[in-house]
Structure 1
Amino acid sequence: MLRLNNVSLAYQDKVVVYDLSFELNAGQIGCLLGPSGSGKTSVLRAIAGFEPLVAGEIGLREQVVSNKAIHVSTQKRKVAVVFQDYALFPHLNVQDNITFGLQKWNKQAKQERVNELLNLVGLSGIELRFPHELSGGQQQRVALIRAMAVKPDLLLLDEPFSSLDSELREGLAKDLRVILKHENATALMVTHDQHEAFVMADVVGVMNEGRLLQWSNAYALYHRPIDKFVASFIGDGVFINAHIDHDLKISSSLGQFSIDASYGFNVDDKVTFLVRPDDIIHDDDSETVAEVIGKDFKGSHILYELRLKQHSCEKLLCLALSHHDHHLGEDIGIRLDLEHLIIFNLSTG
């Protein structure tokens, strides 16, 4: 449905997106995830037809819509955009907002589409209300179904939950995914919130400083990041510096760990490896002791920040069941349970 090949974008001769490529299949939900200024919204605007390309090519339905020589207008791309502020027409009621793009439909067909979509999002009966009479969550749903009413080939979502309370976001993200799958819609969302990305998307691309670092599913991004920024941006964790000893083992303040030759490291290479909170197991019988220097209560679990007693410069995170309630300054036993080492070579930069 959507293909980007080596796309670069610039504003006033300043390149903001570099050599970006990915594909999105029909019926898939994709997400561009990254911090503010990473270029993700610029990519969305280029796909919509709002921005020209400096280099590369964008294709929709295997037809080129953007390159250096071609620029198909937004209206001809069969793309719909849901903006951060929803952009509902304040002078139109819900029904007229939804049918705004359905001028060529007859009255009965319009009414059937309105009823179908409002029922789908659980808002039947609000047809005659105006946007200012709706809650933020209701406005978000109306903006979504207005965009979907015309059955676009591709739906683009620009930070769709950013103006909502945090309590609403995850629930609405789950609802939105159900709605998009029900409609078999192809969608691309941009967000800085990884939880929204993982709830919503089938495939996620992590961006930083205008570059797409990894395009994969949530499991691979968390457990098999190919870039140190991806590893640090996705989930919690700390990096522990180490080196490769003569037995091709990682030698660190946490001990020695065997690795196989597939990692491609050489003796004396300086490396860093990622330790996630779920890699640290609370174990009072362990000889490895750490001091609790911070704690974050999360209901069923507590996220502890720990300092190793044997190596006071090293800090770790540990996710423990909340009935293990330890106080700041208390010592606890821990052990490492690394099923898959995420290692990056520092010797090569």
Structure 2
Amino acid sequence: MQIAPFGVELWLNEFEDSARLNLAETSISALSLREFFELTGLGDSALDELLDARLSYGAIPGSERIRTAISGLYENVTPDLVTLAHGTIGANHLAHLVLTDAGDHVISFSPSYDQHAAIAESIGAEVTVLPLLPENGYLPNLQELREAVRPSTKLICLTSPNNPTGTLMDAAMMAEVVGIARSVDAYILCDEVYRGVEAPGVEPVPSVADLYEKGIATSGLSKAFSLPGLRVGWAVIPKNLKAQFADQRDYSIISVGVLDDLLGALAIEHHEVLLERSRSILNRNRAVVEQWLENEPRASWVKPDAGSAALLKIEAPVDDRTFAIGLLEQTGVLLTPGSAFGVPEHYRLGYTCSEETLREGLAEISGYLDQLG
């Protein structure tokens, strides 16, 4: 099976370790285990649980404890409809393997996370990629979506909040998308890993798993929960797909492991304090970026609604990859070039770091633009 190179991951794998000021990272200021225990108020009893955990495979589909905790993040989800995976990326992969066959029609959007077109294409599906444009706030054009669906459409793929733009479809738009999918009996796969960290004044949107009988919601602990080192992701699935997800999981994952399962359960049981910390970091840093943009006429954005990423448009005399490499080499600042997402002359900014790092990094971008002339 041939698959397209994963542009954003190739970029990060090559350059992330050499960054002095990482403004490409979208996991929100990852917690140490000590910080996690202190923030959640977990005491010796939780530590004893970890020390006493026997390092077996554990429950293959995930422990009842963690699946119960995950189901509590939704309105109408029971634990038996939750299947665990290695991160949201693993949950997305499982979903594509279950839902997509050669010859199926799949609809995705761009810019978005590369998985949602590349895996379907590698399987042999016909993939229609619809553009998300800045003049539409990087939101889907519903008329284009209506015209794109057909009787053979098997799957519509979304990321909401979007990666890399940070835009969020509101409840009314999500209801429209559900109606379009239902009109051709298509599934919706919605990557919701950035859900729960909306900007002030932005109304949270129900999960697709609560809105649509053929909705599959994927998420995990790597972004909003600030725990990317725990490779815990999940898919919330319709009941009729349980056996198929289990079959694919058995071939590719088996289990997430006892320690990740236990720490993941503890995190989700304390999700409110973890998400509040993340929102506080993002709200502070979003204001820092806005302040910088007010004084930097060569840069602009569509203000993100949620999540931890945004697309910056930067007016530079070189292409985005050349600019990003030069910026890194000259200043140590890492951005992700938009061409990795199919959006040249833009840059994904992750505003998840310390305020000091963000302010210094943005100042270095301005200085490098001055240097380029």
Q: Is TM (by shorter chain) over 0.5?
A: no
Whichever structure has more strand as a proportion of its residues is 1
Q: TM-score, normalised by structure 1?
A: 0.30
Whichever structure has more helix as a proportion of its residues is 2
- Pick the structure with greater CA Rg: 1
Q: Using CA pairs under 8 Å that are at least 6 residues apart, name the structure with larger relative contact order, 1 or 2.
A: 2
